[in-house]
Structure 1
Amino acid sequence: MSRADGTDGASAADGLVSAARSVGREAARCAAAAETARRLDPDVVKAVVAAGFARHLVPAAHGGDEGTFLELGRAVSAVGEGCTATAWCASLAAHIGRMAAHLPEEGRRAVWAEGPDAFLVASLTPLGTARPVPGGYRLSGTWPFVSAIDHADWALLAAQVPDQGPRVLAVPRGTWRTEDTWHNVGMAATGSHTVTVTDATVPAARTVARDDLFTGRGAARVVPRLAVPMQATTMMFAVPALGAAKGAFAAWRQHAERKIRAAAGAPAALPGMPSFNRVTWDTTLARTATGIDAAELLLERAAETADSFRPTPAPTPGTGLGPDLDLDLGPAPGPGFTPLETMRIWRDCAVATDLLVGVADRLFRAVGTGGQSSASPVQRFWRDINSVAGHQALQVESAATAYAHQALGF
C-alpha cells in the first residue's frame, strides 16, 4: 500500500494497479477539459476498460477476472490521484459488473455476449415501473444521476413491479434516452445525467429481484465469493475520494516546498509584520499524511473483510432498520456475514470519507490564494471530495445508526 508520505506498505504490483497508474496520468491530463464537457474523455474511458476495470469482478465463466475488492480499491485510488471523476466511474463500472452476476444465466450471457469488458452503469433506486407481460416486463421510468451514461453499453435500472416488489432490469444502449441534467460543481466530469426509458420490453432472464441483488443471494449460485451484501461494498463510493486526497496532497506539497525554500532565503520580516511560520506547513504535512493513512487503513480493512466473504447455506435475517436512503443500500445483509460485520464496513467507509473531507478542507485552506487558482488541481480535488461525501451511502449519521443498532442490539 502506498502511504500518503510516499513510503511503501504492502506490495500492490499487480496488473490492474499498474495499469491504473497510467490511466490516472491520462485522466489528469484530460481532467480540465472533461470538467468543461461534463463527461469523461472517450479515450480515457477506453483506457479504463483496457486496464481491466470493467471485467475485474465479472465471473470467470463469462471471461472475467473474478478479482478482489482490495486490488480494485488500490487501482481506483491510483486513478483518483489523477482524476476523481474517472476513478468514480471506473469503480462503479467494476462493482456493477459484480451486480450483473446476479442475473439468470441467459441474462448474463446477453450482457457479456461480446466479452467481459462491457461498460455497465446503474441506478438502483426503484423509480421506474415494470409491468409483467408474457416472457418478461414492460419498463418505463426516469432515473437521475446515472454516472458515465454517455459511455454505457448496458444499464441496470430498478423499478417497482406491481404486486411483486422492486426488480433490477438490464437494458442495452439504445433502450434509453439521456437528458442533459448534470451541472454540478463537484465531480463535474462524471456526466451523471438523467436516463428515461419508455415502454421497453425486457425479458425475464435479464431481471433479478432487488432484494436478491442487495443481499447477495442472486450471485450465490454463480460466484459465491462475490455474493457480498450491498452494504459491504460501500467502498465503491469512498475509495475515489482516497485517491483524490492523495492527488491534492501531492499538489499541495509541490506548492509548500516552493514556499518553504523561498522563505529560507528571504530577509527578516519588518517589525510588526507577520513572518513565515514553518510550523504551520509542517503541521499541515503531518496531519494530512496521517489523515490519509487512517482513511486508507479503514478502507483496506473494509475491502479485506469483503474479500474474506464465504456464504453460508442460508441467508441471515434482516436488520429491521426499515427502508433505506438514496441509492438504497438494501434491506438485510446476505449470507456469510453477520449484520454487525456488514454495518462495520459501512461505518468504516463513511468515517473514512469524513476524514478525507477534513484533509481536503485543510489543504484547500493551507494552499492559500496562490494555490486556489482555477488551474490548480487542489481546488478541483477539494470540490470533488466534498461532492463524493454528499452521497447518501457515505453519510456518517446513517451508517452510525445502522452500526449502533447491531452493536447495541437495540
Structure 2
Amino acid sequence: RARVAEEAGRIPEETVADLQEAGLFRAVVPKRFGGHEVDFKYIPQIFRELGRGCTSTAWTMGFLIYHNFQFAHFPEQAQQDVWEERGYTMAPGQVMPSGTATPVDGGFELTGRWGYATGIQHGDWMLLSAHIDDGDIARFFLPVSDFEILDTWHVSAMRATGSHDVTLDKVFVPAHRSIRVADLRDGKGPGLALNTGPLWRVPLLTLMVFGAVGPLLGAAEAMLELVTEILTNKVGAYTGAKMQNVMPVRMRLAENKVRLDAVRGLFDAKIEFISDRIYGGGNLSNEERAEMRLVVSYVARESRAIVDELALMAGSRATFLDSPIQRFQRDINSLAGHAIFEFDHTADLYGGVMMGANFPDNAMI
C-alpha cells in the first residue's frame, strides 16, 4: 500500500487497522493498563521491519507507537486520560517548543504553531513542547480536536506521513497533562513512581533515535533485495551482456551487501548492549548516551549512502513511479536530513568526550 499511501498523503486506514489488530500500539504501554511493556530491544526492530515495506508508514506508525513511552512519565491522572479507555493511544508529537504556555488557575493556556505533526490524521491526542513564562520548556498533550490543522504538507518525499502544521490559540491544558522536558529527558517524571519496570529507565532520546533510524535501515535492506532481483535479470542496453556476468556489477553489489551487514550488525549490537545494561539493573552513562547518538547518526548516513548507490545500479527503470526503488530513495534522503541524524555535531560531541572535554549541559542525549 506504499504507493496508495503516498498518493493519498496519509497512511491507509486498512494499514492502521492491521497494526491495531496486531497489537503493536500496546507494545510500549505499561502492563497495568493492559499493555505489552515489551523489552526495549524489540522496539527499534518494529520500526525497521515496517520500513522494509513503506518508510512513511514505519516513521508515522512507529512514532505513534513510541509516544506511548512518553506518557508513562506523566502523572497518574494523565496516564488514565490516555490509556483508561482502550489501553493505548495514538498520539502524534512535535519536539520543538514553537509555542508559549502561560500559567493559569489549574494549568496552562497554550498558544502557538507547531510544524511536522506527523500522523495527525490518525491521532487521539497530540504531544508538543512550549516555553513557560519562567523560561523553562515543558511537554504537554491535548486532544487532537483542540487543534486547527493547516494543510501544509506538500513535499516530494515522506508524503504519507501527513506532517501538517497545527495551531492553538489560548487553549487550556490542565496541569497534570504537563511535564518539564528536563524531567522527561532525565527519567525523573512522576509517572516512574508507578511504572517501575526496566523499560521506563531507558533514556528517552536513546529509545527515540534507535526507533527513528529503523525505517532507514529497513528501507536499505529492502532496496538490496529489489536491486539484486533487477540485476539478476537485467541485460545491458548497449552491450547485451547479462549483468549477473559483469564483474564490476557483481563487485559493487557484494560490497553494498557487506556494508549493509556491517551497519545492521552495529545497530543490533548496540541495541543488545543497551538492553543488557538496563535490564541488568544498570544505567547508561552520559558518555555512552552520546556514543549511542553517534551510532544512530552513522547508521542513518550509511543507510542513505547504500540506498543511493543501489538506486544508481538499478538504472533508469527504477525511476518509474510504479517502482518502490525511487520512493525508497526519495524517502531515505529526506529522512537522513532530519536533525536527530545530524552527524557532524554528534561526532564532535562524542569526539570531545573521548578526549576528556567537558560535557555540555544542553547536550541532546
Provide the TM-score with structure 2 as the length reference. Answer: 0.90
Aligned-partner Cα distance in 2 for 1:149–1:280: 46
Deviation track 1:178-206 (CA, whole Å, cap 9, x = no partner) reads 11111221211111111112211111111
Shift of 1:122: 0.6
Partner of 1:374: 321
8 Å contact 1:59–1:223 — kept in the other structure?
Answer: no
Partner of 2:137: 166
Shift of 1:368: 0.7
Kindly indicate which of the two structures has a greater share of residues assigned to helix. 2
Q: Does 1:404 align with 2:356?
A: no
Partner of 1:291: 259
Aligned-partner Cα distance in 2 for 1:362–1:236: 24
Partner of 1:89: 60
Shift of 1:164: 5.3
Q: Counterparts of 1:133-144 in structure 2 under 5 Å? A: 133-144=104-115
Shift of 1:305: 3.2
Which of 260, 267, 274 is 1:306 aligned to? 274
Q: Does 1:112 align with 2:83?
A: yes
Shift of 1:38: 1.3
Shift of 1:351: 0.3
Aligned-partner Cα distance in 2 for 1:179–1:35: 19
Shift of 1:336: 2.3
Q: Counterparts of 1:206-285 in structure 2 under 5 Å? A: 206-218=177-189, 219-221=191-193, 222-225=195-198, 226-233=200-207, 234-259=209-234, 278-285=246-253
Aligned-partner Cα distance in 2 for 1:291–1:164: 45
Q: For the structure 1 residues 309 and 92, does the alpha-carbon distance in structure 2 shift closer, same or farther, using more than 3 Å as the test?
A: farther
Partner of 1:21: none
Is the partner of 1:138 in helix, strand or coil?
strand
Partner of 1:198: 169
Shift of 1:311: 9.6
Aligned-partner Cα distance in 2 for 1:126–1:336: 28
CA RMSD of aligned residues (A): 2.3
Partner of 2:362: none
Partner of 1:55: 26
Deviation track 1:8-28 (CA, whole Å, cap 9, x = no partner) reads xxxxxxxxxxxxxxxxxxxxx
Aligned-partner Cα distance in 1 for 2:173–2:272: 36
Q: Does 1:340 align with 2:287?
A: yes
Aligned-partner Cα distance in 1 for 2:87–2:248: 50
Is the partner of 1:181 in helix, strand or coil?
coil
Comparing 282-291 and 176-185, the one that deviates more: 282-291
Is the partner of 1:156 in helix, strand or coil?
strand
Q: For the structure 1 residues 275 and 52, does the alpha-carbon distance in structure 2 shift closer, same or farther, using more than 3 Å as the test?
A: closer
Shift of 1:97: 0.8
8 Å contact 2:61–2:119 — kept in the other structure?
Answer: no
Comparing 227-236 and 217-226, the one that deviates more: 217-226
Q: For the structure 1 residues 269 and 357, does the alpha-carbon distance in structure 2 shift closer, same or farther, using more than 3 Å as the test?
A: closer
Aligned-partner Cα distance in 2 for 1:296–1:197: 41
Q: For the structure 1 residues 353 and 213, does the alpha-carbon distance in structure 2 shift closer, same or farther, using more than 3 Å as the test?
A: same
